[in-house]
């Protein structure tokens, strides 16, 4: 199995490397390819089973979009072929139709998903997130810290139970494309979601340190469900 991590030297903001670490620990025999922004992505000429793109600064968003635009067709083919994609934080915006910059300049996205995004550098939105992954009936816990705000007509990935704003849904699910604005080590924070994702990859064994992960998860779920917990 080949797992490609796209541009980890710049798409690595705020603990998302935890997801890569977790993949490496659970798939020690997989072939990991870490492609820098200066290189041609491995997926262009090879089969890749899992493609990961983490959050980046809004300054790098444009750079990454420009880089991936050349491979739009190939990326579309991969989505249609059920390659697993995980895009976290603002990475999801790149796959959409349009991104409006703070100066109102409009960038065309990869146009692979019905997502419209707006960048507001002066407006940082931060919230805890409690949601539900309906497909498996698991609760999802995590964080949002955004300057890029996303609207989508695609099938959502999670239902929102609680966050600071009044959103009803979170993220995008299209075939095996999993996109979420949650950032941080989402797989480590959500062991049941990780198990689901890994099962698609054909891995149905116990997660590494599963007991400890579930302990931490259960504690966090209780905290997030507590009415007194501020979502600030």
Partner 1 sequence: MKKIRFYLAKILGKLSNLGLKILGRNIPYYPGFVALKVCPEFLHYVKKPKLIIAVTGTNGKTTICGLLKDCLENMGLTVLNNNGFNIDTGIASMFLKQKKVSDVAIVEIDEKTSGEIFKSIVPNYFICTNLFRDSMKTNSSVEFILSKIREGIPEKTKLILNADDLLTVEIGRGRKNIYFGIKESINKKNYPHLFCDLVYCPKCGGKLIYTDIKYYHIGNVYCSNCGDTNPERNYEGKVSFEKKKLYINEEDFPLKANSIFNIYNYLAVISLLKEIGFSKDQIVSSLEKVKIIDSRFYQEKIGNITLINQMAKGQNPVACSSVFEYLQNEQGRKCVLLMLDDVTDNRYSSETVAWYYDTDFEILKNSSICQVIISGKRWRDLYVRLLLAEINPEKIWTAEKETDMAAKIRYEKIDKIFLLHDITSYDQSLQVKESIKERLS
Which residues lie near partner 1 (CB under 8 A)?
Answer: 9-10, 12-18, 21-22, 25, 37-38, 57-60, 63, 121, 124, 126, 128, 143, 145, 147, 183-185, 188-189, 208-209, 212-213, 215-216, 219-220, 223-224, 229-232
For the bound state, the minimum distance from the C-beta of residue 101 to partner 1, rounded and expressed in Å, comes to 13
Nearest Cα neighbor of 119 from 62, 183, 75, 50 is 62
Query: CB of 154: closest distance to partner 1 in angstroms?
Result: 25
CA 228, distance to chain mean position in Å, is 28
In the complex, least distance from residue 16 CB atom to partner 1, rounded to whole angstroms: 7
Q: How far apart are CA 116 and CA 93, in angstroms?
A: 7
SS3 string, 119-144, reads ECCCCCEEEEEEEEECCCCEEEEEEE
Q: Which is nearer to partner 1, 41 or 184 (CB)?
A: 184
Select 113 or 187, whichever has its Cβ closest to partner 1: 187
- 29 vs 232, which CB is nearer to partner 1? 232
State the Cα–Cα distance between residues 157 and 167, nearest whole angstrom: 13
- Shortest distance, CB of residue 188 to partner 1, whole angstroms? 7
Tell how far CA 174 is from the center of its chain: 13
Shortest separation between residue 151's beta carbon and partner 1, angstroms:
20
| Three-state secondary structure call for residue 47 | coil
Backbone angles phi, psi at 62, to 5 degrees: -65, -40
- Whichever of 16 and 170 has its CB closer to partner 1, that residue is 16
89 or 96, CB closer to partner 1? 89
d(CA 227, CA 225): 6
């Amino acid at each position: 199995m080949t797992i490609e991590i796209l541009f980890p030297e710049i798409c690595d903001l705020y603990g998302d490397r935890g997801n890569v670490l977790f993949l490496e620990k659970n798939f020690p025999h997989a072939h990991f390819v870490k492609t820098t922004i200066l290189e041609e992505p491995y997926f262009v000429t090879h089969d890749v089973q899992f493609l990961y793109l983490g959050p980046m600064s809004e300054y790098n968003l444009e750079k990454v979009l420009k880089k991936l635009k050349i491979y739009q067709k190939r990326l579309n083919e991969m989505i249609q072929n059920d390659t697993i994609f995980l895009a976290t934080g603002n990475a999801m915006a790149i796959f959409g139709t349009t991104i409006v910059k703070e100066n109102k300049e409009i960038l065309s996205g990869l146009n692979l998903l019905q997502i419209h995004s707006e960048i507001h550098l002066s407006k940082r939105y931060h919230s805890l997130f409690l949601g539900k992954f309906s497909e498996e009936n698991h609760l999802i816990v995590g964080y949002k810290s955004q300057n890029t705000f996303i609207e989508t007509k695609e099938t959502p990935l999670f239902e929102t139970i609680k966050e600071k704003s009044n959103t009803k849904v979170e993220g995008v699910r299209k075939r095996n494309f999993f996109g979420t604005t949650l950032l941080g080590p989402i797989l480590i924070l959500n062991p049941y979601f990780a198990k689901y994702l890994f099962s698609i990859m054909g891995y149905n064994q116990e997660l590494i340190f599963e007991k400890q992960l579930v302990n931490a998860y259960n504690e966090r779920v209780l905290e997030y469900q507590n009415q007194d917990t501020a979502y600030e």
